[in-house]
A and B are shown apart, each in its own frame.
Chain A
Amino acid sequence: MLIRKDLCVGCGRCQPYCPVGAIHFEELKSNVDQEVCYECGTCLRSEVCPVDAIEESPHVYEYPRALRKFFSDPNATHALTGIAGRGTEESKSNDVINRVLPGEVGMAIEFGRPTLGMDLTNIQKVTRAMARAGFTKIEPENPFNDLIQNYETGDLKPELMGEKVLSAIMEFKITPDRLGLALRTIKEAAKEVDSVFVVDLYTRVGQGLTIPQEVLDTIKTEGYTWRPNAKINMGLGRANERKDR
């Protein structure tokens, strides 16, 4: 993002809106630190500037800087997937798509969330650890695939190493018997990174929103807890071709 110096009146109203604190005064005008900025567009979207001095940078869609935009601005639709956002539709349309079947567990490592963001060097520490443990297959439509150079080693593309994202979601599907290993690997890798990520999993439920006991037991055994709130797909969707059945 950019703030036009010829227009800025130096009121500073935009500064608190930046999630990562990239906007500061410079010679009595607000200025965006290009190194810190994630190109999330929050300053512009909030419509807080009284003189419309905030603009999108002309270089924002140039590779590899474009990565910041695609993985940080929720309104940016990723060129590869056509999906706005960083992941797939995860559990949200699972009743229609059946991405995760009974006896499977979908997992997501949401790098940089909440709020802090993460650079690719730190993300690579986790992808390499996961690859060493045998987790090499990423959900096909997830834009995270765009970051990967070598699935077997977990190496990310070297030209992206200077970049960072507000959130990138590594999604994969496993069987419940591998959940413990995945959680242990994630916990160890978390010690190596200098930012944060959140971990979540999704699974089919039984009658009366019964979560598979094997999944809950593994979560507890590995020293994790689940939050009391969750996203719950209510099972009210269907594919068009089933509409008239």
Chain B
Amino acid sequence: MTHSLHREGPLDLLNEECVLFVYPARGFNYDGSGPKVRRLGEMLFHQGPANLLVTTLRKNMYLAVSQEEILDSIKDGAKIFCVLENREKIKATLAKIKEMDEGISIVVSGVIDRVREISAELGINPHTVNLSLGIHGKTDRLPPPDIRQFTTMCGHGMVSPKLIRDLIRRVKTGKLDLWGASLLAAAPCA
């Protein structure tokens, strides 16, 4: 799942996770980006991501694809979305990216204060921030916040509130464990 800008959830959870994007820029460093993105992808797998998706394959790492298949799909212009689930892993990964110096844009989607701290510790100077100013309009039509904690993990809105309710029901009735439910919830996110 790619962590949306508008991801909702309790701060203590958000503090411990981030999504990292590897993002070549069309017309500026697309050409020849494939090998650089692949090297970054190999490094990201080495860091032990909670999830990882390459845009040229569009299958997350739990959808019966091997690490090699994911990496082999990378060509010029491929982007990577990678979920990291604790502060130390985020810091270690950014340190490695800085050291590799591949020149591809890196975006971290996470709690601003945590990214600020980690950047200072690593001597990285962030360039641009994209702030979410919230949901507007007929917000009473939205599913409740506890469901949105799951559905807003997918910025494209591909995870159905009905699916989340169904998965919660199946976990509560012992028909599915949490891991199994997580995999099913992540499947629609592309």
Chain A residues packing against B (C-beta within 8 Å): 15-21, 40, 42, 45-48, 73-75, 82-85, 89-97, 100, 110, 112-117, 166-167, 183, 186-187, 190, 193-205, 207-209, 211, 219, 224-240, 242-243
Are A84 and B55 interface neighbours, CB within 8 A?
yes
For the complex, what is the distance from the CA of A207 to the CA of B126, rounded to whole Å?
8
Are A231 and B134 interface neighbours, CB within 8 A?
no
User: In the complex, what's the smallest C-beta–C-beta distance from B87 to chain A, in angstroms?
Assistant: 14
Residues of A within 8 A of B130 (CB): 90-91, 200-202, 230-233
B86 touches A (CB below 8 Å): no
- Our count of residue pairs bridging A and B at CB distance below 8 angstroms stands at 279
Q: List 18 extra interface pairs beyond A16-B160, A75-B190, A117-B157, CB under 8 A.
A: A17-B188, A89-B26, A92-B105, A93-B28, A114-B142, A114-B148, A115-B160, A116-B142, A198-B133, A209-B115, A209-B119, A225-B133, A229-B3, A230-B129, A230-B132, A231-B21, A234-B127, A237-B25
Residue count of chain B within 8 Å CB distance of chain A:
75
Are B29 and A96 interface neighbours, CB within 8 A?
yes
Query: Beyond A205-B128, A233-B126, A237-B103, is A167–B157 a contact (Cβ under 8 Å)?
Result: yes
Are B127 and A239 interface neighbours, CB within 8 A?
no
Are B128 and A114 interface neighbours, CB within 8 A?
no
User: In the complex, what's the smallest C-beta–C-beta distance from B129 to chain A, in angstroms?
Assistant: 5
Are B162 and A209 interface neighbours, CB within 8 A?
no
**Pairs across A and B, CB under 8 Å, 10 listed:** A84-B55, A91-B128, A93-B28, A96-B29, A116-B142, A196-B136, A198-B5, A226-B134, A235-B125, A237-B103
- For the complex of A and B, the 5 pairs showing the least CB-CB separation, nearest first, are A237-B105, A235-B127, A93-B25, A190-B136, A231-B130
* Smallest CB gap from A242: residue in B: B103
Residues of B within 8 A of A204 (CB): 127-128
* Smallest CB gap from B110: residue in A: A229
For the complex, what is the distance from the CA of A82 to the CA of B89, rounded to whole Å?
34
Are B187 and A47 interface neighbours, CB within 8 A?
yes
Chain B residues packing against A (C-beta within 8 Å): 3-7, 11, 14, 21, 23-29, 31-32, 55, 58, 63, 94, 97-98, 101, 103-113, 115-116, 119-120, 124-139, 141-143, 148, 151-152, 155-163, 165-166, 187-188, 190
